[in-house]
Structure 1
């Protein structure tokens, strides 16, 4: 099921005892241990694409891009071959007992919002969570976590088409229907299918860092993060380059000269286009206005420098094109609801 077009990402206040920044956002870097074993729950009548989302993010060999290896265990929630909605069956050597060995457990969806999951699955999820595993409910997988009582009093989301049913059935959950995914530290939930990919890329960033998530996203030809209307505690999107794209070289040049002042007219002149043609082509290529794209790139550069260097905030502000530390802080707080210094502490532990 596709994600609702109004959705956006969200990272909520941490649970008691979780590491947190000086703001109300959860510490994405310090909230998760160095997880390496990831269990994905498969079930009868599963939609193959739902199952493939966490598998393609965590189960493929991305070592060429510096992504650390993960041990992916696809675990059957029920005995026997599992039917899929596509007409073929699945078999896996792992059962629910494998959840006891996982650092992360992902429920990639559920077959019916009106059907309660098996008690054995709920019990296995409880046990995994109690010993410290991170739980993820993608799409209707949030229903499984809610049925297990793991979302009581916590923020969560699910597919927009099931929003009313979820809110009515689980009134103790702080349901938010207008986000792509919610990261509440040790439990994450997402909206529909495409949002599940967003959530998995966000989780990969928590586990392996920005460069790893960016590499996998580019391999999948998707942005590392889709912008939304709410605070984002994840990497800003990078435009996908198209073959023969007239603006590709210009975008690369801008990224290499973010410290230089740019205007719509100066960039149109450099591209040898009229202002009107350049504006249209730029939006077609990047999906954003010039000012929005440029701000996103500058924020992404600031994130990278904060995470990977010891440079002072003033120097980072200059290199990213904000001109001053005051301007950088203002834009950073507006975009991420945290300060550059707090961001650095969370992602570098300094």
Structure 2
């Protein structure tokens, strides 16, 4: 076990919207900050929908998920927090009233005076096709998320999945693709009726009781083997691209195996309050992981959660500290940084 004895004022677990804004706000409050993210990049769940348009962040005109992530990451790194990627916290212990010990799956230990949990609904990984050669096509034309709509322009696209995401993407891709076919192994699609109705308007064929059993091609998939699971009839379909939306696996190991007795709701979410406080002194929640009356499950709500958690952590360390940070328009910490924008060519 590798120990990093350096002690931080606050360690934020999770690098999504709540974690990134917490990093920014904690830096604004002159705290020594570390962010630990399980994935190989910052951005959190927004990576699942990089091409979706986001309208509901206050004061911001609609942006794609990808654009929003870029701006959140830039903001989150404003005060140079320490960033640790590809490390999953597997256990937390509180050594004393001012020190948390965090253990990772990389056999490392981190130490922090306070902790903000911003892990969303858990670490999410797409459920992949259980077909032997599937992984070989992931870098060509087998997709588990849409990174760029242009990848499907003028293509014959097969989408596998029957939920809202699959139906949404079938309708989104239909105007630019040559053809879109949607398959689902169940009886009926599990999406809003109005979205299902759009499939016909967009000339999207959809077949139920149908699933992928094989992929054929050299460097790229050019044919898919299909099974109709009621008749056991098999067929092949020529395709240019395959998009799989079978849902996500969620890793809840930290919450279920933590050494701390966190008050949980529904066996996973931190049961806290509007200030982000948990029942463990010095441990706070922000974003989707936090449950309380009046919770707002929007990215905008995650930002407020983050600020509240940071303010709580600051006053936990220094009871005489101001309750909130000075707003940016009056904060001296931005004087030099503002010049970079005001006088930029």
Which bracket does the TM-score occupy, shorter chain normalised?
under 0.3
Query: Per residue, is there more strand in 1 or in 2?
Result: 2
Q: TM-score, normalised by structure 2?
A: 0.23
Please tell me whether Structure 1 or Structure 2 has the larger radius of gyration of its CA atoms.
2
Q: TM-score, normalization: structure 1?
A: 0.23
Higher helix fraction: Structure 1 or Structure 2? 1
